[in-house]
Amino acid sequence: MTLTIADTRGLRADDGVVSSSAAGPRSDQPRRRVFTAEYKLRMVAEYDRASAPGERGGLLRREGLYHSHIIEWRKARDAGTLVARPTAERPEVGQDRENEQTTARRRRRGPTGEQAEVERLRRQNEKLAKDLARTQAALDIMGKAHALLELLSESAEPTREQGPST
């Protein structure tokens, strides 16, 4: 394909500068959505409260979400990484970066993260205790079955009599 000067009249000249203006080559593509922690927590709570048939699906359709969003947000909430900041902790426009980093560090160490970790460990401990009890019960049953089989095999063995030898 060959371009002539007549073909290039309506095109902008390539000045080599990459810009993010609305007239860029990808301006007609959709932007990636960004959800705040408050929104995520609110949607997970609303999803968990939904109990009527079809209510959860209706919520997802209304908000334009997928079930995988809820799953990931719930995991983040349970791990303590998804924490809504109180309005007093939100940085003001123009505050320095150091203050934002300090606030973020304080949030990661906060009691909500520790409480989530304690709760996760408590659930894991309960699960392991149940598994241990089940394993011990199975071993007890296996021991009794082994003893019973030994008794049966001892009583079923015929005494061997030596017959006439030829």
Residue 9 phi, psi dihedral angles, 5° rounding: -60, -40
Residue 77's closest CA among 39, 49, 41, 111? 41
Residue 48 belongs to what H/E stretch? helix 37-49
Q: What is the model's pLDDT at position 95?
A: 46
One digit per residue, the tens of pLDDT, for the chain of length 166 reads: 566 666 655 555 555 555 555 566 676 778 888 889 999 999 999 999 988 889 999 999 999 999 999 999 999 988 888 877 765 555 444 444 445 555 555 555 555 778 888 889 999 999 999 999 999 999 999 999 999 999 998 888 776 655 565 5
Q: What is the model's pLDDT at position 157?
A: 75
pTM (2 d.p.) = 0.38
Cα distances (Å, whole numbers) of residue 53 to 66, 119, 159, 162:
17, 30, 70, 79
Q: For residues 113 and 81, is the Cβ–Cβ distance under 8 A?
A: yes
User: In whole angstroms, what is the distance from residue 112 CA to residue 139 CA?
Assistant: 40
Q: What is the model's pLDDT at position 19?
A: 56
Q: What is the model's pLDDT at position 93?
A: 46
Question: How many other C-beta atoms are found inside a 10 Å radius of the C-beta of residue 131?
Answer: 10
Q: For residues 112 and 82, is the Cβ–Cβ distance under 8 A?
A: no
> Which tokens go with 138?
């199975």
Q: For residues 83 and 113, is the Cβ–Cβ distance under 8 A?
A: yes
